[in-house]
Amino acid sequence: MTKNLSAIVIGGGHNGLVCATYLASSGVKTTLLEARETLGGGLSKQTLRDGTAVPGLIQTHHSLNDKIARELKLQSTPCEPLPTTLLSTSGEHITLMGDKVSGAGVSARDISEYRAFREEYLSYGKALKSLMLNTPPRLKHFDWSDKTVFAKLGLDLRFGLGKAGLNEFLRVAGMNLFDVLEERFSSELLKGGIAADALFGNHAGPKTPTTVLPMLMRLFQETGSTASRQVAQVDNLAGQLAEAAKSAGVEIKTSTTVHSVVMDNDKPTGVMLENGDILNADIIVSNADAKTTFLKLVGARNLDGMFTHRVTKTRTNGDVAKFFATFDATPKFTNLSQNASSGRFLVAPTLMYVERAFNHCKYGEFSEAPVLDIHLTTLDNGKSLLSANAMFAPYNLKQGWEAGRAAFEDKILDILSLYAPGIASQVACRELWSPTDIEKSFHIEGGHWHHGEMAIDQSFMMRPVPGAGQYGTPVPGLYLCGAAAHPGGDITGLPGRNAAKQILADLKGRR
């Protein structure tokens, strides 16, 4: 049934690789086209101006969904779990590791509450499993599989969580992080850290309603197994996924930029490359974001008017910049032991700190005091590398990123100096990737981490827009498999896997 059928996957990010591997494993002749020289998208290694090799956009992650790792038979190289340290100017840092909190200033109540909190929210994440691991159901004209997903979801919510659990879930699902965390914890540092971690990549502050949702989405990744409950350093995930793809029979072409999807009689028949070559396939799968896919590759001429309008209105402007600094010697953070200094650190001392950082980006300004997610590594040459995600850094910076770049780098260093005095003067080389840089080098419209805001109105069956929320699109034979599709961003592989399942089901005529 799937024999003699062919598919082209546009984009070799992790979701594209995952999707292609599933398709090829099921006998679909699959070609994957990647514009860049390397595979893995945000996971691929990059080189700084001074030649330093650095991990790409993604420095740490929760490992790929277990189910996918199993199904794709990825070699299970156990990732080294990383503790997350919430930095305090007082030196009373807090360390999070799985369900544990430790630190001098943490109360016993916060410690036990954190455990309970994790347990509770992980159970919510778990209850969403059937929604996350399947094509999101349509909300009318249900077919058999929609009904199954709804039934499972309903059962998991009602019986998995119980009456009280469901009540609470339905309440918090629409809440903001600020209120949820204020209800539970006393430590400002702890609250700030939890909020920042959940918010990275989103255009939202802790007081933004419905911000519990991105936290749940992230926690869902941890429900697969105990191993995935840790934050891990990016290893060679891109390489592993590429290997899996190759051994499944995916033909991979890098440095191959797709110009457009070729349409014939309103159906896609293949793609045209930048060099004018045309490759044909029965199925076209796009790992690109929605705007790139629909507005550039397919084009408005092949789409309905309102659908096109809605795609242009999706919120896809990124707010996270990437900052790198190299040091000849490991920078010294106040009150951190030497071995702890190779780990993950968050600068988000209070909820209001994060909220104030967010305020600026609403008006096209970068944060006066940015929130930082810092990762320190020692390079092969003995030098130290600090890479940091810095928010909020709006895509549409009022003064423009050419003018604002150095100033924002200085802001980051000013903040770092509060925790590592003197660090600014020790920098050997520094580099900042604004969302506009990320847009350019990773081909993501708006430079958005998640290929679009993970707000309720752009989630589930409405991701990226209604009408394209089931991996299939209004163009029959064209599919989405990237973070622009449900369940969205982060390194989960779920959009890729779910899309492949949907494509295969469609090919078998089940749906």
Stretch that binds another protein, among 42-50, 70-78, 207-215, 488-496 (CB under 8 A): 207-215
Near another protein by CB under 8 A: residue from 70, 73, 100, 171? 171
Residue closer to another protein (CB basis): 444 or 465: 465
Asked if residue 109 binds another protein (CB under 8 A), the reply is no
Query: Max Cα separation, the chain?
Result: 68
Asked if residue 272 binds another protein (CB under 8 A), the reply is no
Residue 423 CA to residue 425 CA, distance in Å, equals 5
- Cβ distance 271 to 8 under 8 Å? yes
Near another protein by CB under 8 A: residue from 78, 91, 174, 421? 174
Residue closer to another protein (CB basis): 89 or 208: 208
- Between CA 452 and CA 462, with CA 456 as vertex, the angle to 5 degrees is 70
- Cβ distance 19 to 499 under 8 Å? yes
Across 276-349, where does the E strand assignment appear?
278-280, 283-286, 320-327, 344-347
Closest contact distance (angstroms) between CB of 127 and another protein is: 13
Asked if residue 150 binds another protein (CB under 8 A), the reply is no
**Residues 439-468: x/- map of binding to another protein (CB under 8 A)?**
----------------xxx---xx---xx-
Asked if residue 166 binds another protein (CB under 8 A), the reply is yes
Asked if residue 140 binds another protein (CB under 8 A), the reply is yes
CA separation, residue 193 to residues 127, 181, 185, 213, 414 (Å): 25, 11, 12, 17, 19
**Beta strands at 384-391 and 371-378: parallel, antiparallel or unpaired:** antiparallel
Residue 377 CA to residue 343 CA, distance in Å, equals 8
Give 180-184's long-range contacts (Cβ < 8 A, gap of 24+): 180/212, 181/206, 181/351, 182/351, 184/113, 184/117
Asked if residue 369 binds another protein (CB under 8 A), the reply is no
Q: Locate 110 and state its tokens.
A: 């916060």
- The residues in 110-139 that bind another protein, with binding defined as CB under 8 A, are 138-139
Closest contact distance (angstroms) between CB of 484 and another protein is: 16
Residue 470 CA to residue 28 CA, distance in Å, equals 20
Stretch that binds another protein, among 32-40, 282-290, 359-367, 429-437 (CB under 8 A): 359-367
Task: Give the interface with another protein as residue ranges (CB under 8 A).
Answer: 138-141, 158, 163-164, 166-168, 170-176, 179, 183, 207-210, 263, 266, 295, 299-310, 312-313, 315, 352, 355, 359, 362-363, 455-457, 461-462, 466-467, 469, 474
